Amino acid sequence: MDLLPEWAPNVHPLLVHFPIALLCTAVLLDAAGLALRTAPFWRRAATVLFVLGAAGAVAAFFTGRAAADSVLPPAAANPVLTEHADLALWTVWFFGIYAVVRLVAHRFDRTATPAVAWALFLVGAGGLVLLYETGEHGAELVFAHGVGVRAAAEPAAPLVLSADTTAGPVPTEDGGWAWKPARAAAWKARFAWPEGPPEALRSALVDGGPRGDVLALEAASGPVTFLYERPLGSLQADLAVHLDGFSGAFRFVHHWQDAQNHHFVALEDGRIRQGRVAGGAEEVMDEAPLASSGWLALRVVADGTHFRAYANGRLVVHGHGPAPSPGPAGLRLDGTGTVLLDHLTVQNLHPTPDADHHP
């Protein structure tokens, strides 16, 4: 018997209200305990609810993490999702430690001491600020961005890019860039080439079927890396590639500092790996099997300490690591055969009013 209602995308929205109610009620009972000092029942009841609320927060956190991994949020929702996840983790730690402190205070019969009682009340009440911020970000995900909402299916809007993007990538208003190749080689002048000269990468336009003309890339001698020199902090990249005719490692690289320091999402040998190169040493944050055939819609999100990659609308890897310094993004090929590229767009997840004026 499936206990999850058909309308619910996951169990998180069913659980999340319990810790909110339990922790808010616990603070109210703690206030009653201060007003009625001769009645220890209120303080004991508050402690029980704080413990239950902390346990509920743990359950909400893990179901929320699973829920976040089951959806494909729009670019504007990614920063909110990252902040919601971080706030939820801090809330779990806060109330988990606080519940333990309350239990210890009760064990040694210290909650009746006025100074201790007031301190416990003020700290617990202060924790509601964290709880509120976490819930507010979760509500924004649902009501402002529609994350996790089952709406009537709508056909996906076709990718529409400016004609200027055909000769090479062009800056976008959010501080990112967009590229829909329609020239065989003119685009090379708009990229930087930190690994391998432009001549090391053969390129041609070929028939991509329903996609029209697409760019065929073949490394004459690898590795070859090309970047659009527009440094970004938090980003979302969307690209469509066809790797059936390529043998080797294909990477989307981002936050590039140099060949010894950058982040990447790599497709190689039927696997996808997400990680970084730091001081020349490669560190894999997450990896998973990825059996792909035909065109692959790849989305890469790097926001603060959260790194996610989606394949054809499904999350496949989700890693965590130190927030990188801003840097440019691009592609790296190391192998033989041909990669087909339909488009590549990189969005700035935290645009500033003057983002489009970046050189």
pLDDT in tens, 53-63: 999 999 999 98
Residue 154 lies in a domain: no
Contacts of 342 (CB under 8 A, 6+ apart): 180, 181, 208, 211, 214, 215, 239, 240, 241, 242, 295
Q: What is the mean pLDDT of residues 15-21?
A: 93
Residue 288 lies in a domain: yes
61 and 197 in a common domain: no
Given a contact cutoff of 8 angstroms between Cβ atoms, the answer to whether 250 and 267 are in contact is yes
Residue 301 lies in a domain: yes
Residue 307 is part of a domain; what is its CATH number?
Answer: 2.60.120.560
- Give CA–CA dist 107/100, Å, rounded: 10
- Give CA–CA dist 86/49, Å, rounded: 24
Kindly list the distances between the CA atom of residue 131 and the CA atoms of 49, 83, 102, 135, in Å, as whole numbers in the listed order: 15, 13, 18, 6
- Region of poorest pLDDT, from 134-138, 152-156, 213-217, 250-254: 152-156
Residue with tokens 């303080």: 43
Confidence of residue 142 (pLDDT cuts 50, 70, 90): confident
Mean pLDDT for the chain? 88
167 and 137 in a common domain: no
Residue 7 lies in a domain: no
Q: What is the mean pLDDT of residues 211-227?
A: 89
- Give CA–CA dist 71/141, Å, rounded: 11
Nearest in space to 281 (alpha carbons), one of 264, 260, 259, 254: 260
- Give CA–CA dist 54/132, Å, rounded: 15
Q: What is the mean pLDDT of residues 191-203?
A: 92
- Give CA–CA dist 88/185, Å, rounded: 48
Contacts of 108 (CB under 8 A, 6+ apart): none
326 and 217 in a common domain: yes
334 and 214 in a common domain: yes
In one-letter notation, the amino acid at residue 309 is A
User: Is residue 164 over pLDDT 60?
Assistant: no
- Other Cβ atoms within 10 Å of 124 Cβ, number: 24
- Give CA–CA dist 18/34, Å, rounded: 25
In one-letter notation, the amino acid at residue 207 is D
Sign of CA pseudo-dihedral 234, 217, 356, 145: negative
318 and 278 in a common domain: yes
User: Is residue 131 over pLDDT 70?
Assistant: yes
Domain boundary residue, one of 111, 143, 175: 143
Contacts of 151 (CB under 8 A, 6+ apart): none
Given a contact cutoff of 8 angstroms between Cβ atoms, the answer to whether 264 and 319 are in contact is no
What pLDDT, on the 0 to 100 scale, is given for residue 235?
A: 95
Residue 105 lies in a domain: yes
Residue 116 lies in a domain: yes
Confidence of residue 9 (pLDDT cuts 50, 70, 90): low
Confidence of residue 157 (pLDDT cuts 50, 70, 90): very low
Residue 78 lies in a domain: yes
108 and 168 in a common domain: no
Domain that holds residue 225: 163-357
Q: What percent of the residues of the chain are helix, what percent strand, and what percent coil, each to the nearest 5?
A: 35, 35, 30
More confident residue, 260 or 356: 260
- Region of poorest pLDDT, from 113-117, 127-131, 187-191, 195-199: 113-117
User: Is residue 137 over pLDDT 70?
Assistant: yes
What pLDDT, on the 0 to 100 scale, is given for residue 36?
A: 83
Given a contact cutoff of 8 angstroms between Cβ atoms, the answer to whether 254 and 237 are in contact is yes
What pLDDT, on the 0 to 100 scale, is given for residue 154?
A: 42
Convert the pLDDT of each residue in 22-41 to its tens digit: 999 999 999 998 888 777 88
110 and 24 in a common domain: yes
Domain boundary residue, one of 143, 178, 199: 143
**What does 127-151 look like in DSSP terms, one character per residue?**
HHHHHHHHHHHHHHHHHTT-TT--P
Count the domains in the chain: 2
Percent of the chain with pLDDT over 90: 65
In one-letter notation, the amino acid at residue 136 is E
139 and 44 in a common domain: yes
Residue 148 lies in a domain: no
Confidence of residue 10 (pLDDT cuts 50, 70, 90): confident
202 and 171 in a common domain: yes
Confidence of residue 162 (pLDDT cuts 50, 70, 90): low
More confident residue, 274 or 222: 274
User: Is residue 158 over pLDDT 50?
Assistant: no
Beta bridge partners of 8: none
Convert the pLDDT of each residue in 286-330 to its tens digit: 999 998 789 999 999 999 999 999 999 999 999 999 999 999 999
User: Is residue 225 over pLDDT 90?
Assistant: yes
224 and 298 in a common domain: yes
Convert the pLDDT of each residue in 55-85 to its tens digit: 999 999 998 888 887 778 888 888 899 899 9
What pLDDT, on the 0 to 100 scale, is given for residue 112?
A: 67
What pLDDT, on the 0 to 100 scale, is given for residue 147?
A: 78
User: Is residue 202 over pLDDT 80?
Assistant: yes
Confidence of residue 2 (pLDDT cuts 50, 70, 90): low
Antiparallel, parallel or unpaired: β 295-303 and 235-242: antiparallel
68 and 133 in a common domain: yes
194 and 325 in a common domain: yes
